[in-house]
Chains A and B, each alone.
Chain A
Amino acid sequence: NAGVTQTPKFQVLKTGQSMTLQCAQDMNHNSMYWYRQDPGMGLRLIYYSASEGTTDKGEVPNGYNVSRLNKREFSLRLESAAPSQTSVYFCASSGGQMNEKLFFGSGTQLSVL
């Protein structure tokens, strides 16, 4: 059972470039999330999708867009990358509500130069 799979694992971008982070889960979960993790800070929610066809902003959505492609897949897009978006990005999923345990992917380390 793969759980939550994220690609790529590492990425270096130049300021202004765009890219999409991919996430897929095989646990038939309804809810999916994108977090960023920065040194000295807790995980912060970027966007989430409570069910297929819905997406909502989290704590730090500026500069990002998301797509819930189907029940399995939830992608995060940076349209014009900025150095402030250098971070480690985690995708997560849960069976339903956010007060259920989260299953995390292994992360994408993104550097924007």
Chain B
Amino acid sequence: EDQVTQSPEALRLQEGESSSLNCSYTVSGLRGLFWYRQDPGKGPEFLFTLYSAGEEKEKERLKATLTKKESFLHITAPKPEDSATYLCAVYSGANSKLTFGKGITLSVRP
């Protein structure tokens, strides 16, 4: 069974304090790993797709990386507006299924 585990469940950072969010996965035939951002009361918003180990993608203060077992979302010098829940999802090519993790709630204090 495909599984996605995100850690920690919640993370509180001071503005400017860099950190990483973890997404560990087991999946049959990975065909894509996705990161989404979700603000309170809104739907998830797409951030990145990673397809193969070693791939990296960046957007502003965010950088996503992928290995064969996990993905990291690195946040460099975060700002309060980066506060949100970050969701990880994996797509299995073996059973054509997208599995979401429970999310990591990030709070950045000014």
Contacts and interface: CB of A to CB of B under 8 A. Distances in A.
Contacts of B100: 42-44
B46 A101 contact: yes
How many of chain B's residues touch chain A, expressed as a range?
20 to 34
A53 to B, nearest CB: 19
A104 interface: yes
Contacts, number: 47
Interface of B: 4, 31-32, 34, 36, 41-46, 49, 87, 89, 91, 93, 96-103
Interface of A: 4, 40-45, 90, 92, 98-99, 101-107
Given A42-B99, A44-B100, A99-B91, 14 more contacts: A4-B43, A42-B87, A42-B89, A42-B100, A42-B101, A98-B96, A99-B31, A99-B93, A99-B98, A101-B34, A105-B43, A106-B41, A106-B42, A107-B43
